Chains A and B, each alone.
Chain A
């Protein structure tokens, strides 16, 4: 559905997006993840034809976003980050206007508008002025606009930004339902959102793609720098040296001593599980081992690991 090939956007000397390439298949729900200023919005703006790329190419449903912009735009429902709406219009009036410029007419137009009003829960405010609406309803109005022509592809830029927890749940629920029928590219920096909604994640930082995979694959790869914590009784220095001597251990740190128990955390290599060997070591040296625990990586660890600056 989306094919992005070495897409680059420069603003003067600053490269906001640098040579990114990825594909989104039909029917996939893809999370576009990254810290603020990573280039998410710029990428989405290029895909929707608002900004032209400095280099590279991209296509939506087979149409080049630059040369066949109009055909590509017809297939996209886009919800920009700030949800811009006309304040002086009423909800239904706004949706009618948007549906018309997207080429809907007659009975199809009315049917679609009623459908999206139902879908987005706008029944109660359909006659209200947009400027009197709460943030949550504005977000839903924007979403209804993105949906109105029943596009093949939905591009949502931080759709739950600034909503209260109940509204976030409602919007997520809606997106989840939409994901059954549409291809969705959703940008966000809220990790739990991605874990709940997406089949695939693209992590972008400083304009480059850092990872692109399913959430579970990303997490299992990240067992990479897995961390083991343990408590034992014995000489702290010796224990640290002995642990460090193990094959797959990268780093040992002595956290604290408490009631004669020494707390260590051990960073191990990719995919390695050293728990059995550590236990064996303690038995050999006659150091009582009270607890040993391996921390499962979460998506948050993956994200931090890939995008932190130090």
Chain B
């Protein structure tokens, strides 16, 4: 446990002791700000039935910046250690592979959660700045928080896997964004091909757009919770195998 904590601390520090983490934080905060101001403009233009939280998470720029967060925060994790050779010093120290994998994953995931603090502040700012109570309920905010955490849990794991598979950060990043974009478009399959084929239910089950839609309305569904957590754990298990396997083949 102590080893895990030491490794975790080292990974977290790596985010904050280089300009890199701050650049990502600034990029995400700006995009969240744009989302909020776009949705405030929409609310001002015409009456809308949905809440502020719902609209903010359904602005056109949301998926753009959201999916790009993951390659940015994960591509470095294993690829860099592999390239500089520090993986060798880690794996020849009394460190178990699962400790290494989970510390890196947990660090990236915690950093990801931190990225949403500006969004929370934004929603609070609405009330302070406009003197009108912010038009959303606690339920929709909670739902949004849950789905953002769940998607982040799985997608960060995907990034870890991609980073463990190569010693090039660029390739790891491209692989991550590629996988995430494919996953994203799987949700559009029923929209494009219609509901007439029998497998369309699966695509609804996978659709992160739909999940986001329900959760930001405050409808917390147990199926996505199971889906994202099992997929994340499975992907981390694969990552563990890849890191271990590399010691086998070389």
Contacts and interface: CB of A to CB of B under 8 A. Distances in A.
B17 A70 contact: no
Given A100-B6, A101-B6, A105-B2, A145 B92 contact: no
Contact of B93 (A11, A73, A85, A86): A73
Q: How large is the interface on B (under 10, 10 to 19, 20 to 34, 35 or more residues)?
A: 20 to 34
Interface string A73-84: 110101010101
B86 A98 contact: no
B86 A52 contact: no
B3 A101 contact: yes
Interface string A121-161: 00000000000000000000000010000000000000000
Contacts of B250: 11, 51
B18 A80 contact: no
A84 B2 contact: no
Contacts of B90: 101
Given A51-B247, A52-B248, A86 B86 contact: yes
Interface residues of A, number: 27
Nearest to B17: A88
A11 B14 CA distance: 34
Contact of A102 (B7, B86, B93): B93
Interface in A91-107: 97-98, 100-103, 105
Contacts of A76: 92
B95 to A, nearest CB: 6
B100 to A, nearest CB: 10
A101 B18 contact: no
A22 interface: no
A49 interface: yes
B7 A101 contact: yes
Interface string B1-42: 011001100100010011000000000000000000000000
B227 to A, nearest CB: 35
B93 A98 contact: yes
A80 B85 contact: yes
B85 A73 contact: no
A50 interface: yes
A73 B2 CA distance: 17
A108 to B, nearest CB: 13
A48 interface: yes
Nearest to B248: A52
Interface of B: 2-3, 6-7, 10, 14, 17-18, 84-96, 247-248, 250
* Leading 3 A-B pairs by shortest Cβ distance: A84-B85, A100-B6, A48-B92
Given A100-B6, A103-B94, 8 more contacts: A50-B92, A50-B247, A51-B247, A51-B250, A78-B89, A80-B88, A84-B86, A101-B90
